Chains A and B, each alone.
Chain A
Amino acid sequence: MEKRDILRIEQIRKVYADKSQINEHVVLGDINLRVKEKEMVCLVGPSGCGKTTLLTIVAGFLQAERGNIYINDMPIHGPGPDRGFVFQGYALFPWMTVEENILYALKLRHAGKEEKQNRLAQLLKMSHLSGNEKKYPKELSGGMKQRVAVMRAIAAAPELLLLDEPLAAIDFQMRQLMQEELYTLLMSANTTTIMVTHDVDEAVYMADRVIVMSPREGEIIADYHLDMARPRNRHSPKYLHHKEQLTLYLSESFNIGMEHTG
């Protein structure tokens, strides 16, 4: 059976004007994209290609000048709990404990005590955070913060999980380890996911599909499907082949950017 579209992005246009309102910079020209149920999509592209802008428009934090976004065929108006968001710096509320952060979405919709306790137990087990629920974010390691951020975003079972370069601030040695951790979490969360990254290896390791965007009005220059079994072996010929292909697309995108701005 054909999987249904969870997300439909139609003709999204976003323009940034400078302070004088004279010079305009078209970040996203005319973006169309569909994401199917349970799909794991990575948006890649050089800096300034509009990948984070597109993600924030889907989240509802930013408004597009034109176009529509539908979640399950319903148009979105601003942010909502149907789209969980994991921020680059995690943005965990420092005044709340791990438990309060994770259960915040459930608190907002006045979930019962039993429902909250069951969901918390389930999420803590999934993220190996048991025993840390009374700690505050400042007491956690980077990896633990990431897990709390993902758990908070998926606690209310959103239709779509959006991640904005969740591993950007992590140094190279920790990065692979945290990629694997994040990958395991996302697999057990089993949610439709869009993740922005600038790391091709991260995209090949995690995604079902990689969208390569270019700095020329955010144009999608490749919609690349990765038909590989999971978990993926980073040294397999197939893996390296996909990585090479995507790197070529990314260089192409980079060249487009140079021509566009130069």
Chain B
Amino acid sequence: MAVSRDKIPGPVSDGRAYSLIILLGACLIWYVAGNRTTNHMVLPTFQSVVCAFFEALTSKEILLNLAITMRRVLLGFSYAFCIGAPIGLLMGYSNAANKALSPFINSARQVPVMAWVPLAIIWFGLGDGPTVFLIAFTGVFTMIINTINAVQDIDRNYYHAARSLGATRWQVIRDVVLPGSFPGIFTGGRLAIGLGWMSVI
């Protein structure tokens, strides 16, 4: 008898159901452990954290700060994307560009982000400037490297196919390189936003 490889239908095959069970389990452990601990500095009770969370959600000040942080992250990410994606596309597509730029990119990305803080303050003053710069700086290399990989992973035969159907170099870039590397660029973007959140503090 042939074995069906189809997914089992229903909630069992849905990973989200498991996530919910894990979340409820973790909350339960926290609840029990929190109530048994006498020192709430070490482990606050579950219910007090939930109350604080809902208070924060309705606090105007916190919401405003959250909006400011999101604005910084998105602004920094936009710079990372607008600078990183084109450089990555160029380096992925052209071997010469890759060889020429790689030493600079590879050495610049080794510098810890904290080392840029004094320079960022001198360049951009106090305020949003240095923060946005640092978010952009952490994201830009992720964007570049993911985009290079995405372009280099495109099947050579797609280039051949386009060229044999009459595409010029620019048409190959428009119709093969851009759509072919899109999933990789998208992954780079997700990682860059994640790194942006982490470096915003």
Does A pair with B? yes
* Interface positions of A (Cβ within 8 A of B): 59-61, 78-81, 83-85, 87, 89, 91, 93, 95-96, 104-105, 108-109, 152-153, 156
B168 to chain A, nearest CB (A): 8
- With A80-B164, A93-B175, A153-B165 given, can you name 19 additional A-B contacts, CB distance below 8 Å? A60-B163, A61-B163, A79-B160, A79-B164, A80-B166, A81-B164, A85-B161, A89-B155, A89-B157, A91-B157, A91-B158, A93-B176, A95-B180, A95-B182, A104-B165, A105-B166, A108-B167, A108-B171, A156-B166
Which B residue sits closest to A105, measured CB to CB? B165
Cα–Cα, bound, A167→B171 (Å): 30
A91 and B166 contact, CB distance less than 8 A: no
B166 and A108 contact, CB distance less than 8 A: yes
Name the prevailing secondary structure of the A interface residues.
loop
Show 30 residue pairs from A and B whose CB-CB distance is below 8 angstroms, ordered by the A residue: A59-B160, A59-B164, A60-B163, A60-B164, A78-B163, A79-B164, A80-B166, A81-B164, A81-B166, A83-B164, A85-B160, A87-B161, A89-B155, A89-B157, A91-B155, A91-B157, A91-B158, A91-B160, A93-B161, A93-B162, A93-B175, A93-B176, A93-B179, A95-B180, A95-B182, A104-B162, A152-B161, A153-B164, A153-B165, A156-B165
Contacts of B167 in A (CB 8 A): 108
A94 to chain B, nearest CB (A): 8
Cα–Cα, bound, A96→B166 (Å): 17
B155 to chain A, nearest CB (A): 6
Cα–Cα, bound, A161→B10 (Å): 49
B198 to chain A, nearest CB (A): 32
| Interface hits, B146-198 → A, CB 8 Å | 155, 157-158, 160-167, 171, 175-176, 179-180, 182
Contacts of A152 in B (CB 8 A): 161, 165
Cα–Cα, bound, A60→B162 (Å): 12
Contacts of B161 in A (CB 8 A): 85, 87, 91, 93, 152
A87-B157, A91-B158, A93-B176 as given contacts; A79 in contact with B171, CB under 8 Å? no
B164 and A84 contact, CB distance less than 8 A: yes
B159 to chain A, nearest CB (A): 9
Cα–Cα, bound, A84→B161 (Å): 9
Instruction: Kindly list the 4 A-B residue pairs having the minimum CB-CB distance in the complex, ordered from nearest.
Output: A81-B166, A91-B157, A95-B179, A105-B165
Cα–Cα, bound, A108→B175 (Å): 10
Cα–Cα, bound, A105→B166 (Å): 6
Cα–Cα, bound, A59→B98 (Å): 28
A95-B180, A95-B182, A108-B171 as given contacts; A81 in contact with B165, CB under 8 Å? yes
Contacts of B166 in A (CB 8 A): 80-81, 105, 108-109, 156
Cα–Cα, bound, A15→B129 (Å): 58
Point out which of A81, A83, A89, A93 has the most chain B C-beta atoms below 10 A from its C-beta.
A93
